[in-house]
Structure 1
Amino acid sequence: NTIATVQAIQKQWPTTQITWITGKLEAQLLAAIEGVEVIVFDKKAGLDGYKALWKQLKGREFDALLHMQYAIRASVATLGIKAKYKLGFSSDRSQDFQTLFTSVKVPSPQSLHVADGLMAFAHQIGILNTELDWALSYSTQDQEWAESHVSCDKPNLLIVPGASKAYKNWNAEGYIDVIHHARAQGWNVILAGSPAQVELDLADAIQSRLEEPCLNLVGQSSILQMLALIDKVDMVIAP
């Protein structure tokens, strides 16, 4: 969703230098877009992570900082970043006291979709075309990896059962019912996801209850391989 916002800015202002601060895992996905400086912030390093980030940005000032994360750790990170304007969510959408860390509040769009909420940041700084559109690329090796894991004679259903936070997840029994139904309709079912323990555990719970386990790729792909896999399947179900 954030990629669509960044690429909308690039289309209107192709010479604008864009710096994206993100975590280690998320940085893998940003290799799929061009023209963006990626700075990795180690969220698990505590105070040392903040110091390393601020040291890397020392002496730099940005025209605008788009603070598009609710998390308090992201807000703390902005304290050491110089910018003429720091844009954040308006009070009706803000969480974790984010409004205290920003100087410009971005009005909320009528749509409740996350992508529209993020695109509002681009509109606020003057981007005229804010239609949702994005382009991502991956290597031939990623494509070949994905092709080796899909069925050639059945439609492929990719299920990403787990989110990073367990409270967002459906239960294993619900996914099992979906898998049984899909297989009855002739679909090949694949499980995929990150190596986060909550996702591994949910995938194991699903597999253990199936007479015929699915191909389980949870924790076994890079982000770009996952991107290629999503391209190659016919349907995706994810939280």
Structure 2
Amino acid sequence: MQQQKVQQETIQHIAVVRLSALGDVCHAVAVVQAMMRRYPNAKVTWITAPLEAKLVRMVEGVEVIEYDKKTGFTGMFALRAALKHITFDVLLHLQWSSRSSVLMRMVKAKRRIGFSLSRSREKQHWFVTERAPEPRGVHVLDSFLSIASVLGVTEVRFPCLLNLPEPSFGVPRPYVVVNPCGSKIEKNWTLEGNRAVVMRLLEKGYTPVLTGGPSELERHFSQQIEKEIQGVVNLVGKTSVEAMCRLIQDAHLVVSPDTGPAHIATLVGTPVLGLYALSNPERTGPYQDLQHVVSVYKRLAEKEYGKPINDLPWATTVHDPKAMQAIAIEDVLSMLETLI
């Protein structure tokens, strides 16, 4: 008990480095809030990317510093100048990229904690002073939690606490958010499949709400889904990160491939029906709803690599650009029935 008290007193200022992507920042939010409960008097400074900063700013008590990767070394040196008078007691390095490792070295810290050797990628372990123990699970969030465990943080709680805006869209309730597009076109499920989900929701008395980013691909895809279907609310390209979080919090369910809204849903406590083919849902799936994932990853990965899934490296992905087409509509509708 005395050792715990001493540690709490000596850790007064904590730095967190996690730049992107939005889904992984959601995982990091859960871990950082757990750390803030463990060290209630410590100040937390989070270095992140501009888009993700919109999410992090909704976490009360966190100072946010933006770094845009487009600024390259110029931005890194500007960050170093801005923080030159601060020496953090501890820095949590929650990203694998070599860019973030170089950025992290621009910040003065007494301790720099990174991933375990088995989870270290792009030589992250060269840049830290301490390595985390092996994670208890295979999920990305478990890897983040293993870093925080060095400071005595071992559990996370959901939903997380966010300062969300008031509802702004007036969507008829009950509604289900359908986010059809991922960050890459290969992550998108089929047009026919998404239409089938929308039709089933309407049959069951739910308002289908389409969400997504402002890209031309996403706008066109969503327009094709709602074509000739009455009762669909299309908000693709019309929501900020903050508004998206509130929209998802008030939803009955989120249907999504491996992309930001699926993990926002976990953050705010909304159930998720995840669609997976390219990455292992045990590693990147919705943390609280892994039992509700419809996945063809195992079958496709074992076919591509010719090995049992347990013999494949942790971050193995499927490269077939048509992998998501292997997800059967009837399997998704069956899971949908159990959730609504």
Q: TM-score range by the shorter chain?
A: 0.7 to 0.9
- Structure 1 stretches lacking a partner, 5+ long: none
**In the superposition, relative to structure 1, how do residues 163 and 186 fare at CA in structure 2: closer, same or farther (>3 Å)?**
same
Number of the residue aligned with 1:215: 233
C-alpha contact 1:191 1:203 (8 A) present in aligned 2: no
Contact 2:212 2:218 in 1 (8 A): no
The 2-side partners of 1:27 and 1:44 are apart by 15
Match of 2:333 in 1: none
Instruction: Give the superposed CA RMSD.
Output: 2.0
In the alignment, which residue of structure 2 is the partner of 1:130? 155
Separation in structure 2 between the aligned mates of residue 170 and residue 53 of structure 1, nearest angstrom: 40
2: distance between equivalents of 1:162 and 1:47? 32
Deviation at residue 41 of structure 1 after TM alignment: 0.6
Find the aligned partners of 1:223 and 1:176 in 2 and give their Cα distance: 25
Q: What CA deviation, in whole Å up to 9, does each residue of 1:200-226 have, x standing for no partner?
A: 413422422532273222221111111
Deviations 1:70-128 (A, max 9, x none): 2222112112111122111122222222222222111232322222221222211123x
Structure 2 residue matching 1:46: 3-state secondary structure: helix
> Separation in 2 of the partners of 1:49 and 1:237?
37
Equivalent pairs, count: 228
In structure 1, the residue matched to 2:256 is: 238
- SS for the counterpart of 1:201 is helix
CA distance in 1, matches of 2:234, 2:178: 10
Of 204, 218, 239, the residue aligned with 1:202 is 218
Length-normalised TM-score, structure 1: 0.86
Please state how far the C-alpha of 1:173 moved relative to its aligned partner.
Answer: 3.5
More strand by share: 1
Alignment check: 8 A CA contact 1:70 1:96 kept: yes
- For structure 2, which runs of at least 5 residues remain unmatched after alignment? 1-26, 258-340
Secondary structure of the structure 2 residue equivalent to 1:182:
helix
- The amino acid that maps onto 1:162 is C
For residues 103 and 117 of structure 2, what CA distance do their matches in structure 1 show?
20
Who is 2:176 aligned against?
Answer: 157
The AA in structure 2 aligned to 1:231 is Q
SS at match of 2:114: strand
> How many percent identity over aligned positions?
36
The Cα of 1:171 is off from its aligned counterpart by: 3.6
Whole-Å separation in 2 of the counterparts to 1:184 and 1:70: 44
- Structure 2 match to 1:22: 48
Separation in 1, partners of 2:192, 2:129 = 47
Partner of 2:269 in structure 1?
none
1:5 pairs with 11, 31, 54, which one? 31
Q: Please name the residue that 1:177 is paired with.
A: 196
Q: Would the alpha carbon gap of residues 93 and 170 (structure 1) be closer, same or farther in structure 2, given more than 3 Å must change?
A: farther
Cα distance change, pair 132–121 in 1 and its aligned pair in 2 (3 A) = farther
Shift of residue 193, structure 1, vs aligned partner: 2.4
In structure 1, how many angstroms separate the alpha carbons of the residues matched to 2:187 and 2:82? 35
Please show how residues 11-160 of structure 1 align to structure 2 within 5 Å. 11-127=37-153, 130-133=155-158, 134-139=160-165, 143-146=166-169, 148=170, 150-152=171-173, 155-160=174-179
Runs (4+) off by over 6 Å: none
82-91 vs 205-214, which deviates more?
205-214
State the distance in 1 between where 2:188 and 2:107 align. Answer: 35
Question: Per the alignment, in what secondary structure is the counterpart of residue 38 of structure 1?
Answer: strand
Looking at structure 2, the residues matched to 120 and 126 of structure 1 have their Cα atoms a distance apart, in angstroms, of 10
1:146-165 CA distance string (max 9 Å, x none): 4x1x213xx31101223334
Larger RCO (alpha carbons 8 Å, 6+ apart): 1
Distance 1:81 1:101 in 2: 12
- Measured in 2, the distance between the counterparts of 1:94 and 1:163 equals 25
